[in-house]
Amino acid sequence: MQRSLERTVLRTAMLGILVNGILATAKLVGGILGNSYALIADAVESMTDIFSSFVVWRGLSVAIQPPDSDHPYGHGKAEPLAASFVSLMLLAAALGIAIQAIREILRPHLMPRPFTIWLLLAVVIIKESLFRFVFHVGNQTSSTAVRTDAWHHRSDAITSAAAGIGIAIALWGGKGYESADDWAALFASSIVAWNGFQLLKPAVDELMDALPSEEMQKEIASIALSCGGVLAVEKVLARKTGFVYWVDMHLEVPKDMTVEEAHAVSHVVKDRIRQQLPTIREVSIHVEPYPQKNLGLASEIVG
């Protein structure tokens, strides 16, 4: 099952590279022939999408490699590294588009041609559809990099929609409104920058081993408490590495339980958690005698 999901995310990244290549070429040619800087800026943004999708594909290719002697926890950190890089590329692209848009606003240029609107409409439909598909795969695989790549596609759809609105205003307004599509490109750059900031945080959190959601911690603790011999869960720590989680737990068992019995209980807890939560790769368990002075923490974990 895990291997199938890994193949899915790699194919998804390659699909993004192919679609972005076709759209970038179409928008660049259309922008040059149609006298639209907004369309050219959109093409540049799509070119960064090609590179970002390649980075995501490469990061995922490394992330799915199994643990080895030098990387006992696997290579999953390559995935948030790729996501961080893509987020930074979004910010850089937004800055570049904004600078060039301001330059275009300050100098006179020709009116964009009507056919560019239809080209942008097609781009918006394709890119929004691609966003929905890629984001679904990202949620299905819990992949930060894939979700980031999906939002990169939506950012492209947003910039294309803004460019289309700007061109429509320019054509409707006539002489004196030639720069409307440049203002649209400037507005779109702010949206791209906002998405870049929003996508950078979860990637950095994953790199810094931030705890997963409180709901997931409670679910892990609840599964452990359902196992015979476990009287309390004193601590649940977890970190995400690529597509999987590594969990550390402190369990409390009867103080008269033998080491052998406690060891057996630990294995039952570990097997049940991994069975019910397939995204958890490994569970390390520390056993303590019940009761502990800090038992209050257990009640917080399990609600």
pLDDT value for 276: 93
* Domains of the chain by residue range: 2-207, 214-301
pLDDT at residue number 22: 87
Q: Tell me phi and psi for residue 80, to 5 degrees.
A: -70, -25
Q: 2-207 falls under which CATH superfamily?
A: Cation efflux protein transmembrane domain (1.20.1510.10)
Rounded Cα–Cα distance for residues 192 and 172 (Å)? 26
> Can you say how many angstroms the Cα of residue 6 is from the centroid of all Cα atoms in its chain?
15
Q: Bridge partners of 280?
A: 245
pLDDT digits (tens), the chain, 303 positions: 455 666 776 777 778 788 888 888 888 888 888 877 667 777 776 777 777 777 877 887 787 788 888 888 888 888 888 888 888 887 887 888 788 778 877 876 667 777 888 888 888 899 889 889 888 887 777 777 777 778 778 877 877 787 788 778 877 877 777 677 778 778 878 877 887 888 788 888 888 888 888 889 999 999 999 999 999 998 899 988 877 889 999 999 998 899 999 999 999 999 999 999 988 989 999 999 987 655 444 444 444
- pLDDT score of 163: 77
Q: Are 177 and 169 in contact (CB under 8 A)?
A: yes
Q: What is the CA radius of gyration of the chain?
A: 25
Q: What is the pLDDT at residue 296?
A: 46
pLDDT value at residue 38:
66
Helix (H) or strand (E) holding 109: none
pLDDT at residue 2, rounded to an integer: 52
Per DSSP, what are the bridge partners of residue 287?
A: 251
**Three-state secondary structure call for residue 292:** coil
What's the confidence (pLDDT) of residue 4? Answer: 64
**pLDDT recorded at residue 303:** 45
280 contacts 245 by C-beta, under 8 angstroms = yes
pTM over 0.85? The answer is no
Cα angle 186, 188, 191; round to 5: 120
Q: Are 290 and 255 in contact (CB under 8 A)?
A: yes
CA–CA dist 243, 62 (Å, integer): 12
SS3 253: strand
3-state secondary structure (DSSP) of residue 130: helix
In this structure, the strands spanning 244-254 and 280-290 are parallel
According to the model, what pLDDT value does residue 137 have? 83
Give the phi and the psi of residue 110 in degrees, each rounded to 5: -75, 160
| Nearest of 105, 113, 110, 97 to residue 40 by alpha carbon | 97
User: Can you spell out the DSSP letters for 33-47?
Assistant: HTT-HHHHHHHHHHH
pLDDT of residue 155: 76
What CATH number is given for 214-301 in this structure? 3.30.70.1350
